[in-house]
Chain A
Amino acid sequence: MSRSDEQNPADLAGAYALHALDADDMAIFEAHLAESKEARIEAAELTDIAVALGLAVAPVQPSDAVKANLMAMLSSTPQLPPLPASRTTSPSAMDVAAADPGASPAGPSVATATPGTEGPAATGAGTTAEPRPESDIHSGNASSTPRPSTATERAQARWFKRPSQFILAIAAAVALFVGGISLGQALNSNEFKSQQAASLAQINAANDSQRAATTTVDGQEVTLVWSNTLGISALLVDNLPALPSDQDYQLWYMNDGDATSAGTFDSSGDGTVWRVLDGTMHTGDQVGVTVEPTGGSDQPTSNPIVALQS
């Protein structure tokens, strides 16, 4: 900015420490910080002074609800890894996650993008929603290698190369709840959101946490994360198109030709929508998504837009 060019960037040190810089001057001053050790020392000292001003303010005891809310959210809030290298400013989780590009947007589709070799065998199958005994879940007989396909391999490589972004995206999604901003997706109540977030965090924290990924033919990235020992899974989709109001996306666990509903969700059309599946996941289950009338169907009435082998 011309007005700033007339000045010594060092003059910005005070406003910087007081968080009073606008974006343009912030960029100018950070460039200055990067070049000058003296400037970094001064900025640190003046930041300490700003903190002294902060410590001179009378404390105010928060209501008990603030701590209770926080403690309840911890287990569902993933933590960031340390920064790999020292930086002049530390970006927040939201900043970093916001830089994470999603898949290219695309129109609705009912094409099948099946990574496995079996296809959407469950479509139109009979009703068997009966959960299996718990003993099966602890068998440890995990099929840790999804059936190979180029889409799966490519997508998996993408995720495995970017584990930190993956976690950050989840962190950002969780943080959105906290700000009181609904994802605008399938999550209707705070309790439901918090259960969903807690389950997602559990999956990611589990020792046997696994993931598989593919894309719909329209290019939307779809990722399934699951834990066989926990018996739960979650599906994440980038830029899933919004549906008309009389339709919902419906999740299914599919096994041996049987489809079991695992809940419905909708999508705003951009960003990452995710949903922890209802019910219990069994080793070897496929997870599919169909488009159904609002509220969901007892059995799939259309071909899956995507199906993934766990």
Chain B
Amino acid sequence: MLGLMTVDSAGDLAPPAPASKEELLVQVARGDQSAFGELYDQIAPRVLGLVKRLLVDHAQSEEVTQEIFLEIWQSAARYESSRGGASTWILTMAHRRAVDRIRSSQAGRDRDTKIGIRDLAVAYDHVAETVEVRIEHERVEKAMTRLTQLQRQAVSLAYYGGLSHSEVADMLQIPLGTVKTRLRDGLIRLRDELGVAS
């Protein structure tokens, strides 16, 4: 028990001040369970919101969210702050896992077919729950209006629909090469509109 107690007592000494997600990730990487709990509280609703946006089914989305947070726990030491913020790291992982789940299940395929382009219409229908989310939501929505319709459809189907670029091509009935350039041009336009350019 000695080894475990040593680890635990180190975790008990965590400072009480609220920590940034980046700081929390560093603590999580050292095995700090309370830091993990705090990080979870801060960002789990974001993760589940995004995953559920792709998967629709609530129970399955919670299951994937749980997997994502376990991966965060396991690989926190691999987060490199020099390569971006903690939210970027976590939401990128969350999106990838949601997409993985769609691609690995027939349920995902059926969902794609059922939802299809209709999904685009509700892409921004969610009621934003906080000022922070609402501002970000409106900012993105405004930037999306700067895209051509084809760019917007392609980006939405890929990101919110979790479709691969060839599935987007099938759905929009345009050549794959066109989808590739629309996705890239669309994101570059969004980058310029959102002011994230370096």
Contacts and interface: CB of A to CB of B under 8 A. Distances in A.
Interface of A: 3, 6-7, 10-15, 17-22, 25, 41, 44-63, 65-67, 69-71, 73-75, 77-83, 86, 90, 92-93, 171, 175, 178-180, 202, 205-209, 227, 229-230
A3 B176 contact: yes
Nearest to A11: B180
B49 A60 contact: yes
Given A46-B191, A58-B49, A79 B29 contact: yes
A18 B70 contact: no
Contacts of B75: 79-80, 90, 92-93
A52 B62 contact: no
B44 interface: yes
Contact of A46 (B41, B50, B70, B187): B187
Given A51-B88, A179-B67, A45 B4 contact: no
Q: Which among B3, B48, B77 has the greatest number of chain A C-beta atoms within 10 A?
A: B3
A142 B196 CA distance: 59
A53 B83 contact: no
A13 B49 contact: no
B111 interface: no
24 contacts: A6-B177, A7-B177, A14-B183, A15-B183, A19-B99, A20-B99, A49-B191, A50-B187, A51-B88, A52-B136, A54-B46, A56-B137, A57-B46, A57-B160, A58-B49, A59-B46, A60-B48, A60-B52, A74-B36, A77-B74, A79-B29, A82-B29, A93-B74, A202-B4
A305 B186 CA distance: 62
Contact of A21 (B3, B65, B74, B164): B164
A72 to B, nearest CB: 10
Given A59-B46, A80-B77, A82-B77, A53 B66 contact: no
A39 B131 CA distance: 35
A117 B92 CA distance: 54
Given A66-B66, A67-B44, A93-B71, A55 B91 contact: yes
Contacts of A58: 49, 126-129, 133, 137
B126 A57 contact: yes
Contact of A71 (B37, B46, B49, B83): B37
A10 to B, nearest CB: 8
B48 A53 contact: no
A83 B2 CA distance: 29
Interface of B: 1-4, 6-7, 29, 31, 33, 36-37, 40-41, 44-46, 48-50, 52-53, 61-63, 65-67, 69-71, 73-78, 80, 83-84, 87-88, 91-92, 94-96, 99, 124, 126-130, 133, 136-137, 139-141, 155, 158-160, 162-166, 168, 176-177, 179-188, 190-191, 194, 196-198
A179 B100 CA distance: 13
A195 to B, nearest CB: 15
A70 B70 contact: yes
Contacts of B53: 57
A70 B75 CA distance: 15
Given A59-B49, A62-B65, A80-B75, A175 B88 contact: no
Given A48-B88, A74-B36, A59 B133 contact: yes
In the complex, the 8 A-B pairs of residues with the closest C-beta atoms, listed nearest first: A14-B183, A14-B184, A59-B45, A58-B126, A56-B140, A207-B3, A20-B158, A18-B158
Contacts of B188: 14, 46
